[in-house]
A and B are shown apart, each in its own frame.
Chain A
Amino acid sequence: MALAQENVLIPDVGLRVKALESLLAEKGAIDPKSLDLLVEAFETRIGPKNGAKVIAKAWVDPEYKKWLMKDGTAAIKSLGYSGVQGENMVVIENTPTVHNVVVCTLCSCYPWPTLGLPPIWFKSAPYRARVVIEPRAVLREFGLEIADDVEVRVWDSTAELRYLVMPMRPAGTENFNEAQLAELVTRDSMIGTGLALAPGK
C-alpha cells in the first residue's frame, strides 16, 4: 500500500501548498497576513461552542426556537454566526420518536459557522458511504443505540444547504441556565452521532 500511495498522492504535498501560496502572494492574489487571521479564527472562535449556544437558547426560549425551526439561517445569524458554509441553514429537531443524523455523501459539506471544521471521520469514505444505508449500525459504532421504535432520519447535505441537529434537552436540567445548558451540547449531538450530555457527566 505504501508504494501505491507514493505513486498516487502528490509528493511533498505541504511544499506544493507552500509553492502555490508563495506564487499567489507574489502576484498579489492573496495576502499571507490575512491567511494568518483566517487560521486563527478557526482555531479560536469558529467551532461547536457556537452551535451549542444556538441550541441552548432554543431550549430555553420558545419564541427563538420557533424562529430557528422556521428560518434557521436568520435565527442563527442573529447570534452572530454566519458566513461561508453557513449560508443556508436548516435545523432538524430530535424527538422521542425521531432521531436525525447528518452526512454529506458527495463531499464533506458542513456548517462551519456553527460547528467549525468537520472531523476527519465526517469526511471519510466509510461514514459517507455507510450512514445512508445502515445508519443504526454506524451510530452503534459511535456508542449510540437507537431503539427500534425510534425512526432514524438521515439528511444528506448539499453544497448550498447545511443541517444542524437540535438534540433533545437532557432530563434533570430544568433549573439550568443557557450557559450551563450549552456545556451539555456536544459537536456530535449536533451532527446526530451523539446525544446531549446528561448533567453531571
Chain B
Amino acid sequence: MNGIHDIGGKHGFGPVVVEQNEPYFHEEWESRMLAMMIACFGAGVFNVDQFRRPIETMKPGHYLLSSYYEKWLCTVEQNCIDVGIVTREEVDARHKQLMKEKMA
C-alpha cells in the first residue's frame, strides 16, 4: 500500500535527531502500551498484518506527528474493537471519565 507510512526516499524531513542517553520510556504510559501490545499479540488478538493495517491507514497528519506508542494505541484499540473485546464507546467513555478525574 502506497500510504503515508511509505516514507523511504521522501525529502524534506530534515536531519536525524539523536537523543543522547535515551531512556527506555519517556513516559510510563509508553511502557504500558508496549506490554499491552505484546500481551494482545501473544493472545492472538491480531497478527502482524492486522497490527500494521490501522497504523498504515491513519490520517497522514496524525501519522507524521504522533509518537510510536500513540500509533500502537490506535492499532491495538482498533484490533480489540474489531474482535469484539471492547467497543469504541466504552473506550471513549472511560477516557473521558479519566480526563474528568484528572481535572477534579
Contact = CB atoms under 8 A, between A and B. Distances in A.
Interface of A: 4-5, 8-24, 27, 29-31, 34-36, 38-39, 42-43, 84, 103, 105-108, 116-117, 119-121, 123-130, 132-133, 138, 141-142, 156, 159-160
Nearest to A156: B8
Given A21-B36, A23-B90, A132 B8 contact: yes
Nearest to A154: B8
A35 B13 contact: no
A39 B34 contact: yes
Contact of B22 (A5, A22, A119, A156): A119
Given A11-B99, A106-B5, 18 more contacts: A10-B74, A13-B29, A14-B29, A15-B29, A17-B36, A20-B94, A21-B36, A22-B94, A23-B86, A23-B91, A24-B36, A24-B86, A35-B36, A35-B39, A119-B19, A120-B19, A125-B13, A129-B9
User: What does DSSP make chain A's interface, helix, strand, loop or mixed?
Assistant: helix
A156 B91 CA distance: 36
B16 A127 contact: yes
Interface in B1-23: 5-11, 13-19, 22
Contacts of B49: 159
20 contacts: A8-B62, A16-B91, A17-B29, A17-B36, A17-B73, A18-B32, A19-B91, A20-B94, A29-B85, A30-B36, A35-B32, A35-B36, A38-B35, A39-B35, A106-B56, A107-B5, A121-B19, A127-B16, A129-B9, A141-B18
Q: Which of A108, A128, A142 has the most CB of B within 10 A?
A: A128
Q: Which of B5, B32, B41 has the most CB of A within 10 A?
A: B32
Interface in B71-98: 73-74, 76-77, 80, 85-86, 90-91, 94-95, 97-98
Interface of B: 5-11, 13-19, 22, 24, 27-29, 31-36, 38-43, 45, 48-49, 52, 55-56, 59, 61-62, 64-66, 68-70, 73-74, 76-77, 80, 85-86, 90-91, 94-95, 97-99, 102
